[in-house]
Structure 1
Amino acid sequence: MTEESDQSAQSRRAQLIEASIQLLEEVGPEALRARTVATKIGASTMAVYSHFGGMNELLEAVAAEAFTRFGAVLAVPDTDDPVADFFVAGDAYCTYALDNPQRYRLMFGLVSPQTTRPAARSLSAPRAPVETAADTTAFNQMMHVVERMVAAGRIRADPIADIAGRLWSLVHGVVLLEMTGYLGQEGHAVTNVLGPATMDLLVGMGDERARLEQSRVRAAERLAAGAS
């Protein structure tokens, strides 16, 4: 394959992924069929099979791209207050998930059987230090800020992946309950449930509530200013 044809193939793959993401959010997972996706970019159904091998592989690529974008929004700049950084990243997490609910469900395999992703490996299990999977990259963003909170003496030094797993589970659970309406769909769950629960968890892990409140205020000021 020549360099030009390789670039063309990569471009067509990117178009199919982007078309799938748009259809997913506009219509829902039922729209993710080879013919529908191909038609959206003006191609034949064969394009899906030529560039991905089939719909399962395309959906894996869509989920990976969604996780890549997810990881990017979680990568907030480090400041001298790692807990404030965590709160800013948490806001980015919730915003991404609630603004892109169908995409978020696909990322975690929470769609119809035809589009369910295979069970992922345990992100908190021991693994090689170099991992490039998109979902691992997103989890590493969480571990990075947790490691900084531990290093700053804000919370006790439990295994970093375990702490990240606890925090991710809390955020993920509240987000899904809000998506499905069990905690309402007015955006109050983040303020009335997730925020207080996170504060309680971090206090239980050793931080001081007054200090946490200072970090929360700093994070709120950054978010109000429109800067992460």
Structure 2
Amino acid sequence: MKILVVGANGHTGRLLIEYLANNSDHHPYAMVRSNTQEEELMKLGAVEVIVADLEEDVSKVTIGMDAVIFAAGSGSKTGPDKTITVDQEGAKKLVDAAKASGVQHFVMLSSIGADDPQGPIEHYLMAKRKADDYLKNSGLTYSIVRPGHLTHDKPTGKVGLAEKIELMDERSIPRGDVAHVLATSLEIDNTKNKIMEILSGDKEIELALEIL
């Protein structure tokens, strides 16, 4: 499949491009805001770099794509206004574009806590929740992946995964394992139209998705 990776220049997005290029038969297309990022992403395995800005018109970027993985985010250094325009409204615009162009599967990178936004990052979790709800109600086939705290630790290939994980002290997961889950969600029918919360754990990723 031709996969549009939105937010391809982010930490998780780059790992996702690399994973899709080296561990699947899919063809990753990298959507980024600047063509200055093109060379690095092509080296990682992107078939093509598509320059588009989530705060502007993105209605054409999904044409010809079989699936979309939305891994974009405004980043921790921006304020609530950017969180709304990128994480919330940008995601909604991509959902609309995907639906209009007949995309088969939309995978959304969300966050644990989006089901009950509160605490110091409530505005971020609320934006994620609104984006998730918009996708769920869109009529598209979807998978919503909600990881705990993302780390740069070496991926293990194993996770703790459920539709709802009870609170626990250790709530982190390596970004590489998140990328693995996002990519594999495209291949396992059991992930369709489901929300998955994920943390580091002891089950092989493919098995965890199969028995979700």
TM-score (norm 1): 0.28
Greater Rg, structure 1 or structure 2? 1
Structure with the higher fraction of residues in strand conformation: 2
Structure with the higher fraction of residues in helix conformation: 1
